[in-house]
Structure 1
Amino acid sequence: MDPPPDSAGEFRNWLELPRDVIALIFLKLSAIEILTSAQRVCSPWLKLCKDPSLWLSVDMRKPDNKWVDNQLERMCRDAVDRSCGQLVEINVEKFGTDELLRYIADSSSQLKRLGLVRCYGVSDEGLSGVAAKLPLLEELAISYCSLSNEALEAVGRCCPHLKSLKFNCLRYGKFDEEAFAIAANMSELRSLQLFGNMLTKDGLQAILDGCPHLESLDLRRCFSLSLVGNLGRRCVQQIKHLRLPHDSTDDYEFNGGWLQYVRLRLRWQQCF
């Protein structure tokens, strides 16, 4: 069936749209959509898809299951190359590795925002090793990766401009190590999310002392905390935007990951 005509009774020729209009449309597409579809339409679109301005931000979260990890890694490297060193933000889900993280850091000295989701191939040594190559980093979001306080300490030492940290990882029995690392090395933080963390009142006290500029603190599902008495009052007085352990998780973007966390934690407890 032929496509319906537009209001003028003619078919729309998308190839005749102004270049700046097409570029705005492409900015709404994911990196995967551009690399696997848009650039294959015609030569002018291929040329536009190589413009570094389209690759200042690269989002490769929630990739289609039809792509295997090595394909996604090649696409990610291609996207980084196309930024020509101007990459400002990148988010990677599931297929991230130490090697890929090094490639990103070596090619992206202007990087300000980094997100890693379920990247079990990224280790403490891997993130610690590239931290010094990301001196402008302002936002770091780590969710469900196998990382610990060692990586946080390195990032805190090497990234003095860090203002926002999300650290939502599956770790058991470590309690306040991550909190102490944040308190000792990230004094400029304005926003902190520790969803489902095992920190206690000692770790929270250290964060409040070591991060005097903190304005937003998300402690949802941090059930080892007791926010009664002076500590609870201090949180209310010092933090403008406070999420408490029993607050709703309806707006938490990884609710499925949280359910997985609960199941794994229950299994861990059954081993003892």
Structure 2
Amino acid sequence: MKMDTEADWSELTRECLINILSRLSLEDRWRGSMLVCKSWFSTFKEPSLHSVFNLGPQFDSPPESTRWWTPQFEAKIDSMLLSVVEWAQSSLTQIRLRHCSDRSLSLVAQRCPNLELLSIRSCPRVTDYSIFKIALSCPKLTELDISYCYEITHESLVLIGKNCPNLKILKRNLMNWLDPSEHQGIVPNEYLNACPQDGEDEAAAIANSMPGLEWLEIRFSKLSAKGLNSICQGCPNLEFMDLSGCANLTSRDIVNASSSLVHLKNIKKPNFYIPRSVFHTERYGHWSLYDERFQTDIFRI
């Protein structure tokens, strides 16, 4: 039998509901609270609840799925982001997600002038078109992650650098093209084969337009010693660099280039395990020829 004193949750004041919803995880808000009743859904659209849109944990916990790389899944992510942008009413400052497209990012550029963090990894249909708009409309950007977005070129990096003077963190990692087996069966082959080749152009763009960078990730970039040297000269405030998988760099290249970085605290160097049997050492006369280029100090042979 119902008790007369039973609370009617639909009659909570808007202030109480906002307080409750602000304490819930993103998943609980979207899958539970917004579906309770009309008043809860109305409160769910409160701008202050949407200043941060972080789908990162939903992508990080499960193993990567082939479903994520389909147009249908991308459309769902776009729809979520479009809704958040509408509800936030220019208060959106952080976006972390994957598999969106130009469609939703173009609206972000229009409606989110206070955006400070944009992380859009693994977005095959994000291009220079929307990133140009972001660069021109979001000058407060301090962190940008465009890893595995192969339709974004060095031209976007130039524009971001010139129009976002507060940029401190750039993540422009590529997939492991040295051993693509870890991505095969999940990432479409045509996308794997589209890995950017313009490592030197990207290095020049970073060096010439992002002098305030403090954190740089360019895993599996195809830049050379010349490109790395230009980055170290153009970005003197770097404190962290991740060069994992940069196969065109030697240990000596990295030491020489980074010696000018007085603030550098940590650097991740290329780390390759290449069994000795792969090479015909007798052809070259001495195994030490490989010590520098392939980092044999960390081999387990």
TM-score, length-scaled by structure 2 = 0.69
Give per-residue Cα distances to partners, 1:158-196, cap 9 Å, x unaligned: 111111000013534323111111000000101100111
Runs (5+) with no aligned partner, structure 2:
1-5, 60-64, 176-194, 274-301
Q: Which residue of 1 aligns with 2:209?
A: 185
Q: Distance in 2 between matches of 1:239 and 1:121?
A: 35
Q: Distance in 1 between matches of 2:272 and 2:40?
A: 47
Match of residue 32, structure 2, among 22, 32, 37: 37
Deviation larger for 226-235 or 167-176: 226-235
Q: How many residue pairs end up in the alignment?
A: 233
Match of residue 216, structure 1, among 216, 229, 240: 240
Q: Which residue of 1 aligns with 2:117?
A: 113
Q: Distance in 2 between matches of 1:149 and 1:233?
A: 22
Q: Distance in 2 between matches of 1:89 and 1:105?
A: 13
Runs of 4+ in 1 over 6 A off after TM superposition: none
Match of residue 56, structure 1, among 51, 55, 69: 51
Shift of the alpha carbon at 1:238?
Answer: 4.8
Instruction: Kindly indicate whether the alpha-carbon contact (under 8 Å) linking 2:79 and 2:104 is maintained by their aligned counterparts in 1.
Output: no
Shift of the alpha carbon at 1:21?
Answer: 5.2
Match of residue 245, structure 1, among 251, 270, 289: 270
Q: Which residue of 2 aligns with 1:99?
A: 103
1:23 aligns with 2:14: no
RMSD: 2.9
Deviation larger for 170-179 or 65-74: 65-74
1:197 aligns with 2:221: yes
5 Å-filtered alignment, 1:155-174, equals 155-169=160-174, 171-174=195-198
Q: Which amino acid aligns with 2:211?
A: S
Q: Which residue of 1 aligns with 2:256?
A: 231
Q: Distance in 1 between matches of 2:228 and 2:23?
A: 44
Q: Distance in 2 between matches of 1:244 and 1:55?
A: 38
Runs (5+) with no aligned partner, structure 1:
1-11, 249-272
Match of residue 77, structure 2, among 72, 78, 99: 72
Query: What is the SS of the residue equivalent to 2:146?
Result: strand
Shift of the alpha carbon at 1:14?
Answer: 10
Identity of matched residues, %: 27
Q: Distance in 2 between matches of 1:199 and 1:75?
A: 36
1:136 aligns with 2:140: yes
Q: Which amino acid aligns with 2:123?
A: C
Residues 212, 247 of structure 1: alpha-carbon distance in 2 compared, 3 angstrom cutoff? farther
Shift of the alpha carbon at 1:107?
Answer: 0.6
Q: Which residue of 2 aligns with 1:88?
A: 93
Give per-residue Cα distances to partners, 1:40-78, cap 9 Å, x unaligned: 013443233112111011123456959633333222111
Give per-residue Cα distances to partners, 1:182-226, cap 9 Å, x unaligned: 000000101100111111111111111000111111111112111
Shift of the alpha carbon at 1:20?
Answer: 5.9
Deviation larger for 14-23 or 232-241: 14-23
Give per-residue Cα distances to partners, 1:211-267, cap 9 Å, x unaligned: 01111111111121112175166178551121111189xxxxxxxxxxxxxxxxxxx
Q: Which amino acid aligns with 1:242?
A: I
Q: Distance in 2 between matches of 1:126 and 1:71?
A: 18
TM-score, length-scaled by structure 1 = 0.76
Q: Distance in 1 between matches of 2:47 and 2:88?
A: 4
Match of residue 206, structure 1, among 230, 251, 260: 230
Deviation larger for 36-45 or 192-201: 36-45
Instruction: Kindly indicate whether the alpha-carbon contact (under 8 Å) linking 2:18 and 2:43 is maintained by their aligned counterparts in 1.
Output: no
Q: Which residue of 1 aligns with 2:129?
A: 125
Residues 128, 60 of structure 1: alpha-carbon distance in 2 compared, 3 angstrom cutoff? same
Query: What is the SS of the residue equivalent to 2:158?
Result: helix
Instruction: Kindly indicate whether the alpha-carbon contact (under 8 Å) linking 1:236 and 1:242 is maintained by their aligned counterparts in 2.
Output: no
